[in-house]
């Protein structure tokens, strides 16, 4: 989370960076960076609910666009966050980002996929492609990056909606707004993005990647 907070500070945006967690140890870890920390309820069920709870606090009432960078995306490309925000600025109520998907990840349930229409809006998110490969013959399948930008009213509406059947089945919260007719614009990156940390294998890869990046900087 500390790495995520540091990268958020690097964004070329007029941001008020806040770290939200239900674990005080996370807030203690990011305190040296000088970012704000908010301790949230452990009863919140998703990252979006956590972000919405913070955005609803009086001290953040003036925020227009809210950007959610999840802690399991420590190496998120800055272009992904900028692109998600730009989708909202261009008229989408919610923005996110995606990158090219490696062929080897097509059937990996830990790599969330997204397909988009001709306007760059999401048609569907899923962990595993249908056996028929129906998506691939019609549209390009992309690797979804766990970053979201919300227009404030869309964020408030999202968390009030009833969970969708598809959302529960796949464990993907972003299926809820789609099921209720809220569009999600997708900023497309041209190069592959580092994967999030969802498994023990991902953690080992992330540690090696962080060590490599540290050596380059040094």
| pLDDT given at position 217 | 46
Looking at per-residue confidence, does 36 or 92 come out higher? 92
Give the mean pLDDT of 45-64: 90
DSSP code of 195? -
d(CA 89, CA 66): 11
CATH of residue 127: 3.90.550.10
Measured CA to CA, the distance from residue 147 to residue 141 in angstroms comes to 17
- Helix, strand, coil % over all residues of the chain, rounded to 5: 40, 20, 40
Specify the pLDDT at position 139. Answer: 62
Examine the pLDDT at 122 and tell me if it is beyond 70: yes
The number of domains in the chain is: 1
Per-residue pLDDT band for 61 (boundaries 50, 70, 90) equals confident
What is the rounded CA–CA span in Å between residue 19 and residue 101? 29
pLDDT greater than 80 at residue 10: no
pLDDT of residue 216: 54
Whether 171 shows a pLDDT value over 60: the answer reads: yes
Domain residue limits at 196: 2-217
Least confident of 78-87, 96-105, 183-192, 205-214: 205-214
Residues 6+ apart with CB under 8 A from 150: 48, 51, 65, 66, 67, 68, 88, 93, 94, 95, 158
Which range is least confidently modeled, 27-41, 117-131, 152-166?
117-131
Asked if 141 and 135 touch (Cβ cutoff 8 Å), the reply is yes
């Amino acid at each position: 989370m500390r790495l995520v907070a540091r990268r958020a500070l690097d964004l070329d945006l007029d941001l008020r960076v806040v770290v939200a967690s239900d674990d005080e140890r996370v807030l203690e870890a990011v305190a040296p960076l000088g970012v704000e920390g908010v301790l949230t309820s452990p009863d919140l069920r998703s990252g979006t609910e956590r972000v919405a709870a913070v955005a609803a606090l009086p001290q953040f009432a003036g925020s227009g666009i809210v950007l959610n960078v999840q802690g399991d995306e420590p190496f998120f490309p800055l272009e992904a966050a900028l692109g998600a925000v730009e989708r909202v600025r261009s008229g989408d109520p919610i923005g996110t980002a995606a990158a090219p998907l490696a062929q080897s990840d097509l059937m990996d349930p830990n790599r969330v996929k997204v397909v988009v229409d001709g306007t760059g809006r999401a048609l569907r998110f899923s962990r595993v492609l249908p056996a028929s490969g129906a998506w691939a013959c019609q549209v390009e399948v992309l690797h979804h990056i766990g970053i979201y930008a919300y227009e404030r009213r869309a964020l408030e509406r999202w968390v009030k909606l009833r969970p969708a059947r598809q959302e529960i089945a796949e464990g993907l919260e972003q299926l809820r707004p789609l099921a209720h007719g809220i569009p999600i614009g997708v900023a497309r990156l041209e190069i592959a993005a580092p994967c999030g940390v969802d498994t023990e294998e991902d953690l080992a890869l992330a540690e090696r990647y962080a060590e490599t990046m540290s050596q380059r900087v040094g």
